Amino acid sequence: MGSATCAHLAQSGVSVLGLEKHSLPHHKGSSHGNTRVIRQAYFEHPDYVPLLKAAYKHWHKLEEETQRRLFFKTGVLVCGSKDSEMIAGIQKSAHTHQLQTDLLSNLELRSQFPQFKLPEHYIGILEKNAGFLKVEDCVESYHQLAKRSGAALHENEFVTSWKKNGTTLEVQTNQSQYFTQKLILTQGAWSNFLKSIKLKILRKTMYWFKDEKLQYHPSKQTPSYLFDLNSEGIFYGTPTIDSLGLKVAVHSGGEMLNNPNELHSFPSAHEEFKLIKDKLCHILNLDLSTYTQFTHCMYTMSPDSHFIIDQHPACDEIYFACGFSGHGFKFASVIGEILSKLALTGKPPYPIDFLKLSRFTR
């Protein structure tokens, strides 16, 4: 979110300083793990769809500006029982915004996607224009674009305090002091400046498995996927694109963290691995007994699992975005535009009232 915001601001011609707590890209937050699913038929809420349409345009524009392939259109296959809330949510978003999706019966699922062995009472929705993003490449691309457009980006430097002095904000870091007219905060799991609500941090684990059956190829139907297995959880993954293999993770559940710095501080108990192995071996028709690699990431959960984008409650010159709740990365390109426009004009370019902080205090 920060790299995208810096790039949008720098391209607007203003003076920009970006401060990054770690180096870029890094594996200490929510923006790593090789791939992230991107889709428009959004079961989480139909109001996200206009933002996603804009996000797609920005991702494609970033590809053109940096000459890097970032978006892979594999299609996304969502499967669940007929009474799945996820299936119903996708249908609502698709109907509201006239998105192209294909509703598949169980017979059609088995015929079109024989690589998946889903329960007989499951149906599917295929969104052909969806796929995945190469996340580290996305971060690096926005980082490079921001610098090329004139932004100064300081890695391994973090804010320790800020205060308003007249019309100027004084920002203190672990290395220096800066003065600015506007400040934008995209601190992820470190967004502890909100006193009125509690953000919950969940540690999630992503796994890769050796695979020869579910490899991505432009001419084959090997989609990214989400499986709603009811009380057993929501699982997702992306097809094999390199030597790491097939990516699999559990979207639901997670291990609570008291401090985001604990993310990699102790080994995983592999509870999510056991869940994946027990529930997906048959569906994926693969041997999931041994993974090739795993890594942790964080979901920073808002109380209602929707994003929070707003002015800082204590200072009108500060804008922030946080609480992306495990489904935010695909929006990074448009969040950068939104935050830059808020800082420059005070008005968002898209309707985001449903993401305001005030919804928790009504």
Using CB atoms within 10 A of its CB, is residue 182 exposed (0-12), middle (13-18) or buried (19+)? middle
Round to whole Å and give the CA distance between 116 and 340: 43
Is 235 in a helix, a strand, or coil?
Answer: strand
CA distance 28 to 298: 8
Active site residue ranges: 32, 35-36, 247, 251, 297, 330
List alpha helices for the chain, DSSP H.
Answer: 2-11, 49-66, 85-97, 106-112, 135-148, 271-284, 332-345
Query: Residue type at 250?
Result: V
Asked if 98 and 46 count as a contact pair (C-beta separation under 8 A), the reply is no
* Domain spans in the chain, listed from the N-terminal domain onward: 2-28+136-195+305-360, 73-130+199-301
Task: Enter the DSSP assignment of 353.
Answer: G
Of 356, 260, 359, the closest CA to residue 312 belongs to: 356
Q: Give, to the nearest 10 degrees, the angle between helix 135-148 and helix 332-345.
A: 30
Sequential pLDDT tens for the chain (362 residues): 999 999 999 999 999 999 999 999 999 999 999 999 999 999 999 999 999 999 999 999 999 999 999 999 999 999 999 999 999 999 999 999 999 999 999 999 999 999 999 999 999 999 999 999 999 999 999 999 999 999 999 999 999 999 999 999 999 999 999 999 999 999 999 998 888 899 999 999 999 999 988 999 887 889 999 999 999 999 999 999 999 999 999 999 999 999 999 998 876 667 889 999 999 999 999 999 999 999 999 999 999 999 999 999 999 999 999 999 999 999 999 999 999 999 999 999 999 999 999 999 87
Q: What is the pTM of this model?
A: 0.96
* DSSP conformation letters of 20-89: -SS-SS-SSSSS-SSEEEE-SS-TT-GGGHHHHHHHHHHHHHHHHHHT---EE---EEEEEETT-HHHHH
CATH class of 2-28+136-195+305-360: alpha beta
For 73-130+199-301, CATH gives 3.30.9.10
